[in-house]
Amino acid sequence: MPVRTAFAAQIEHLQILDEHGKLDERLAQGTLTDEQVVFAYERMIDYRKLDEIAFTLQRSGRMYTYPQNKGQEAAALGSGLAMRKGVDFLVPCYRENAALFLHGLPPECIFLHWMGDERGNAIPSGVNVTPIAIPIGTQMLHAVGLAWAYKLRKEDRCVITYFGDGATSEGDFHEAMNFATTFNVPCVFFCQNNQWAISVPREQQTASETVAQKAIAYGARGIQVDGNDLFAVYKATTEARDRARAGGGITLIEAITYRLGDHTTADDARRYRDTAEVESWAAKDPMIRTRKYLESKGLWDEQKQAAAEEHGKAFAQDIVRKSEGIAKPEVREMFDHLYAEIPDELRRQRDTLRTHSLGLYPEQSGLAVSGRRGS
């Protein structure tokens, strides 16, 4: 029998705003307004300042560790702007601060988390985000479960889950993709490919030429975008969101970006990254190209930049005050967010602050003595 092609596919790469701030007007139609771009750039400044002050806090012993978001703001902002606040759900990793804040998460929650205060994981009611996930890849399974619930309830809602390139080598990624596509749930998979899985470069932890092509094996759509391009990220995420909502299938978005800082403040990337590589990516910083674009349209100048920088400093300092000024937690509070309705056994532990039998049931204190007397 003749040999025939059983399947063929290709992965598109989308860029709308290049590193010089030049916009492809045709591709940009129907994406972001000038007001939205100004808003997004102002948020980039705020959140970069927040990153800088978090680094200082860790170095001065006021925070345990912190993973900087520096250089990846456009990926988080563009995708966050595409999702509907109060309707859709965000299931993050730990470099999506900008998207989380857009959707209502108080920034001090992130600081409290990295300061070791569990109250940072107590998401306020009405804020549709899950706590940040430190184990690599596990959050994707949660996202698919949320999306499946929306489908079963026939709710017009969508879930987006974020992860890094290294997470696509984890089994949880493959299980989540397989379940999501088999049951066709309204979910968007968003990979921030920042080129490094801690100290392992992308080409050493997967043989795939792109992350996006991993979608093909599951019958999903895969697209690669310039992750430092606010417009491309917004466009790809909006299309993926609408496709998922309409029952058209899952999309895996690979946002090509770069981690300009260390993996966390416990890391020293100089030990494994070439300085020239970092410098080349620093020139592609999403903040630089976004500012160039705004300046080319007469929407930004030095005076606005100075004002935005001052606002960013004040914003970051206010978050520090809120984080460090919070009252110390009581020991009992460790039980408060485990269950919607606390089981009796845990309630007794909370009320007595004991786990042993005598501590939980102090009324038994005389049994041992009376037992010896009767022997």
The per-residue pLDDT for range 191-240, each reduced to its tens digit, is 999 999 999 989 898 999 999 999 999 999 999 999 999 999 999 999 99
Residues 345, 273 within the same domain: no
Residues 75, 55 within the same domain: yes
Q: Is residue 6 assigned to a domain?
A: no
**Percentage above 70 pLDDT, the chain:** 96
Tell me what the mean pLDDT of segment 60-74 comes to: 96
Residues involved in catalysis:
259, 263, 272
The per-residue pLDDT for range 106-116, each reduced to its tens digit, is 999 999 999 99
Q: Is residue 3 assigned to a domain?
A: no
Does 373 score more than 70 pLDDT?
no
Q: Are 88 and 155 in contact (CB under 8 A)?
A: no
The per-residue pLDDT for range 44-57, each reduced to its tens digit, is 999 999 999 999 99
Residues 320, 337 within the same domain: no
Q: Is residue 7 assigned to a domain?
A: no
Q: Which residues contact 145 (CB under 8 A, 6 or more apart)?
A: none
Q: Is residue 5 assigned to a domain?
A: no
Domain interval for residue 346: 331-373
Q: Is residue 29 assigned to a domain?
A: yes
pLDDT at 375: 44
Does 150 score more than 50 pLDDT?
yes
Residues 228, 80 within the same domain: yes
Provide φ and ψ at 8, rounded to 5°. -140, 145
Does 130 score more than 80 pLDDT?
yes
Q: Is residue 258 assigned to a domain?
A: yes
Residues 245, 351 within the same domain: no
- CA 368 to CA 37: how far, in whole Å? 73
Q: Are 176 and 196 in contact (CB under 8 A)?
A: no
Alpha helix (H) ranges present in 4-102? Answer: 25-28, 34-59, 73-82, 97-102
Q: Is residue 133 assigned to a domain?
A: yes
Residue that wins the pLDDT comparison between 355 and 97: 97
pTM: predicted TM-score of the whole model, two decimal places: 0.92
- Count of CB atoms situated within 10 Å of the CB of 268: 11
**What beta strand segments (E) does 227-296 contain?**
251-256
- CA 65 to CA 211: how far, in whole Å? 28
Q: Tokens in use for 166?
A: 């290294």
pLDDT at 226: 98
- CA 323 to CA 109: how far, in whole Å? 8
Q: Closest by alpha carbon to 9, among 221, 179, 187?
A: 221
Residues 197, 233 within the same domain: yes
Residues 25, 90 within the same domain: yes
Burial class (CB within 10 angstroms; exposed 0-12, middle 13-18, buried 19+) of 180 = buried
Residues 116, 184 within the same domain: yes
- Residue 252, classed as helix, strand or coil, is strand
- CA 264 to CA 163: how far, in whole Å? 16
The per-residue pLDDT for range 267-298, each reduced to its tens digit, is 999 999 999 999 999 999 999 999 999 999 99
Residues 273, 353 within the same domain: no
Q: Is residue 132 assigned to a domain?
A: yes
Residues 155, 283 within the same domain: yes
Give the total number of structural domains in the chain: 2
- Give the residue carrying structure tokens 């990153």: 51
pLDDT at 192: 98
pLDDT at 367: 56
Tell me what the mean pLDDT of segment 81-89 comes to: 98
Residues 319, 355 within the same domain: no
Residues 208, 345 within the same domain: no
Average model confidence (pLDDT) for the chain? 94
- CA 132 to CA 257: how far, in whole Å? 20
Instruction: Residue 41: give its domain's CATH number.
Output: 3.40.50.970
Tell me what the mean pLDDT of segment 93-114 comes to: 97
Q: Are 348 and 360 in contact (CB under 8 A)?
A: yes
